[in-house]
Structure formats: structure tokens, C-alpha cells
């Protein structure tokens, strides 16, 4: 059963120090001692596509392709996207994301930042870097997965890997999961899947749910649910059936066509149905329209301790020339935070996550997506926010 009392993103208010030599030495030593391979980033960036690694307990694990798009809230991940050269360029374009689950430990957060910098160095420091927090992912990140799914590590059986399900004989030990299909307010084109507590109180007529019972699935279509949610749920099950290597039975029911005696309902913990849109712990991650948000530009002195942030401008508009006028600049849209470094300040790139972490923890929006760019690198998100 999911535990909703756990502290969420408990690392966000901590003083992050990953560029400190003593901290780096201690963490890198533990990272290498506990990594399942001495070279976790072998042969990276040579082909188009995604590569994903999971971080947990100081260890880096190759994430199987059958699990791409599935993320567990107790862990952190490294995602590398390599794309073919852009027009008039011979260089492959790299985007490295760290994804931090809302219940990931501070230690895994630090290790993910260290791994981010190690991977960037493997790619000759040419990658665009990103920080993603569960529930507040950027449009670029969600575009990689259709859909993107969030699970509770506490409730998944045998660590959540579908391969474990296929290899283990005792299917009766599987703990039921209730999955909700939805579209966040700021990602209208990408469907997300979130594991919620297996309780009747989680149900609302606006969404589609899947009750995952191991070798049996039941799709519950809320009376007001969208057709694309229903299609996504059916496609999702087809993928699971292929991955589990077991004979899977699937039932599809409509809210208005079944009684409470149906096994879908009797398999859930009793409780009243929710009315309207569910208000739960993830609502703090959901953002509203960006129209009324103020944009702010700060100059950063990366050599000071503590870091200093000097305001340059604030308002509804911002210009690229203003952003590029300083060696290290933070452009905060309150929906997405960018840190841009000049070529002469590129040595501070490995410290950029630390800088933006310290800046954002002093704001009302510490969990928004982050993108780190060297002057000359393009970002569709940056260009979009400059135009809004």
C-alpha cells in the first residue's frame, strides 16, 4: 500500500555541495565501489536514441529498454538523448537529464548530479543539461515517452521490474496496483500514468484506471474520461503483456455499466468515491497557466560562498541580449529555469546544478524544470519562453 505520509522532495531545502572537492571525493569513491560496472557510460552517444540508467543506493544500473518510460519515485535516473546532427552541423546533439523521484534520497540526488557531470565529460562537455523533478517534467522530457509512468517503489513487487515477474514462479505474491491515466494541466499533449493507492476513494469519473493484478488486468473507464485516455490504457496493457511473458487476462468495464459487486471494486480498499478532480499530494507539482508569471534575470557570481545572485531585470518580457550579457545568468520564468554560461565561464558548467539548486530553494517554485546551456546552444523551450 502506498504511504502518503512520507516527506516529499526532502532534499530540496538541503545545502547542495557537489563541487566541493572533499564531497566529490567521498561520493565518487562510494559511487565507484558500489557501481555494478566500473564503466557505466561505455560507448555512449554513438547512436541516435535514448539510454537510461537508474541510481539507487549509490549504484548505477543499466535500465532495461522494456522499462523505458517507467520511473520509481524512490530513485533517481540519468537519461541521455542523442539525436542526429542538425542542419549545417556535424555534431550529434546530446541532452542529458537527471530525473529525481519525489521520495528519492538526498544521497541519490547528489550521485545523480555527479553522474550527470561524468557523462557530460564523456561527451566532451557538449551536452545540454536538464534537471527534472517527478510531476514537473519539461515538455522535452515527456516527449520521449508515450506514456510516462510513475510507480511507488514501496508497493512494486520484486523492485518493479517486469522481468522479475516473468522469472518468478510465485505470481501470488504480486501486490495489486491501481494506475491512473491523466493529462497534467501543463502537458496537454502527453498522457501520464501514476500509481495511486488501491482505494475506491482514488476513483473519479474524469479518468481511466487500470487495476494491475499481476496476470489479470481490469480497465475502468470513468464516465467522463477522454477517448485518448482509453486508447492509451489499452495500448499500455498490450506492452505489459509482451514484457511479462505470462498469459494475461484483460477486462474492460465502463463506470456506468457495472455494479459495486464487480471484482474491480471489491479488490480495492473501501472508501467514498472522489468528486471531480482529485486533490492529492501531487497537486503541488501541477502548474497553472504561464500567462501571468513574472520573468526574472539574475547575474550569478559562481566564485562566491555563499553564491550571490544579482537581479538584472524582472517583468513580463525578457530579451536574449540581456540574458547573454553576463558570464553566468539565470533566467527564471517560474515555469522553467535556465542557466546560461558564456564560453569563458564554461568551466563552471559542472557547478551549474548546484547554483540553480541554491537559487530555486529561495523561491516559491523550487521544483520546476531546469536547463543548462552554453552560449550558442539552442533550446526550443528557451525560445518559447522568450516569446511569451
283: Cα within 13 Å, side-chain hemisphere? 5
* Domain boundary, last residue among 285, 306, 325: 285
Q: What is the pLDDT of residue 217?
A: 94
Would residue 150 count as lying in a domain? no
Would residue 340 count as lying in a domain? yes
100, 170: one domain: no
* Domain boundary, last residue among 237, 262, 285: 285
Q: Is the peptide bond between 34 and the residue preceding it cis, with omega within 30 degrees of 0?
A: no
Would residue 271 count as lying in a domain? yes
Instruction: Pick out the chain residues at pLDDT < 50.
Output: 1-5, 155-169, 275-277, 279-281, 283-290
137, 180: one domain: no
Q: What is the pLDDT of residue 241?
A: 80
Q: What is the pLDDT of residue 282?
A: 53
DSSP-derived secondary structure letter, 80: E
280, 293: one domain: no
pTM equals 0.85
Q: What is the pLDDT of residue 185?
A: 61
> How many domains does the structure of the chain reveal?
3
Would residue 2 count as lying in a domain? no
Q: Is the peptide bond between 147 and the residue preceding it cis, with omega within 30 degrees of 0?
A: yes
How does pLDDT run across 36-69, given as a tens digit for each residue?
Answer: 555 678 888 888 899 999 988 777 888 988 889 9
Q: Which three cell numbers stand for residue 223?
A: 464516465
46, 162: one domain: no
Q: Find residue 300's DSSP bridge partners.
A: 309
125, 164: one domain: no
Domain hosting 314: range is 287-388
291, 277: one domain: no
* Domain boundary, last residue among 126, 145, 164: 145
Q: Which three cell numbers stand for residue 270?
A: 473501501
Would residue 190 count as lying in a domain? yes
177, 240: one domain: yes
Would residue 3 count as lying in a domain? no
> For residues 147 and 234, is the Cβ–Cβ distance under 8 A?
no
Would residue 281 count as lying in a domain? yes
> For residues 72 and 160, is the Cβ–Cβ distance under 8 A?
yes
How does pLDDT run across 63-116, given as a tens digit for each residue?
Answer: 988 889 999 998 999 999 999 876 666 788 999 999 999 989 888 898 899 899
180, 221: one domain: yes
68, 131: one domain: yes
164, 266: one domain: yes
90, 18: one domain: yes
130, 23: one domain: yes
Would residue 1 count as lying in a domain? no
Question: What is the rounded radius of gyration, in angstroms, for the C-alpha atoms of the chain?
Answer: 22
CATH of the domain at 228: 3.40.20.10
**Residue burial 212-232, b: 16+ Cβ < 10 Å; e: rest:** bbbebbbbbbbeebbeebbeb
Amino acid at each position: 500500500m502506498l504511504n502518503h505520509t512520507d516527506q516529499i522532495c526532502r532534499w530540496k531545502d538541503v545545502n547542495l555541495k557537489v563541487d566541493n572537492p572533499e564531497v566529490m571525493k567521498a561520493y565518487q569513491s562510494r559511487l565507484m565501489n558500489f557501481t555494478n560496472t566500473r564503466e557505466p557510460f561505455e560507448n555512449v552517444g554513438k547512436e541516435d536514441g535514448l539510454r537510461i540508467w537508474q541510481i539507487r543506493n549509490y549504484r548505477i544500473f543499466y535500465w532495461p529498454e522494456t522499462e523505458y518510460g517507467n520511473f520509481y519515485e524512490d530513485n533517481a535516473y540519468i537519461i541521455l538523448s542523442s539525436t542526429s546532427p542538425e542542419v549545417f552541423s556535424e555534431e550529434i546533439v546530446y541532452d542529458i537529464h537527471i530525473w529525481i523521484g519525489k521520495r528519492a534520497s538526498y544521497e541519490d540526488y547528489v550521485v545523480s548530479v555527479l553522474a550527470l557531470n561524468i557523462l557530460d565529460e564523456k561527451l566532451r562537455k557538449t551536452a545540454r543539461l536538464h534537471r527534472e523533478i517527478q510531476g514537473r517534467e519539461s515538455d522535452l522530457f515527456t516527449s520521449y515517452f508515450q506514456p510516462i509512468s510513475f510507480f511507488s517503489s514501496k508497493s512494486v513487487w520484486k523492485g518493479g521490474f517486469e522481468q522479475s515477474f516473468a522469472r518468478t514462479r510465485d505470481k501470488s505474491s504480486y501486490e495489486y496496483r491501481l494506475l491512473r491515466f491523466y493529462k497534467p494541466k501543463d502537458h496537454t499533449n502527453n498522457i501520464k500514468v501514476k500509481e495511486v493507492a488501491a482505494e475506491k476513494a482514488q476513483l473519479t469519473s474524469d479518468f481511466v484506471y487500470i487495476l494491475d493484478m499481476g496476470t489479470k488486468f481490469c480497465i475502468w473507464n470513468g464516465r467522463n474520461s477522454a477517448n485518448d485516455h482509453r486508447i492509451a490504457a489499452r495500448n499500455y496493457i498490450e506492452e505489459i503483456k509482451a514484457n511479462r511473458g505470462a498469459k494475461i487476462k484483460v477486462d474492460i468495464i465502463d463506470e456506468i455499466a457495472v455494479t459495486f459487486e464487480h471484482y474491480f471494486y471489491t479488490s480495492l480498499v473501501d472508501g467514498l468515491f472522489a468528486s471531480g478532480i482529485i486533490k492529492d499530494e501531487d497537486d503541488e507539482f501541477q502548474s497553472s497557466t504561464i500567462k501571468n508569471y513574472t520573468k526574472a534575470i539574475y547575474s550569478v557570481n559562481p566564485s562566491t560562498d555563499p553564491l550571490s545572485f544579482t537581479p538584472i531585470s524582472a517583468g513580463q518580457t525578457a530579451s536574449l541580449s540581456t540574458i547573454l550579457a553576463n558570464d553566468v545568468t539565470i533566467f527564471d520564468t517560474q515555469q522553467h529555469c535556465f542557466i546560461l554560461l558564456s564560453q569563458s565561464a564554461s568551466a563552471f558548467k559542472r557547478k551549474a546544478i548546484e547554483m540553480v539548486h541554491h537559487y530555486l530553494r529561495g523561491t516559491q517554485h523550487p521544483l520546476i524544470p531546469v536547463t543548462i546551456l552554453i552560449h550558442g546552444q539552442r533550446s526550443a523551450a528557451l525560445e518559447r519562453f522568450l516569446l511569451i
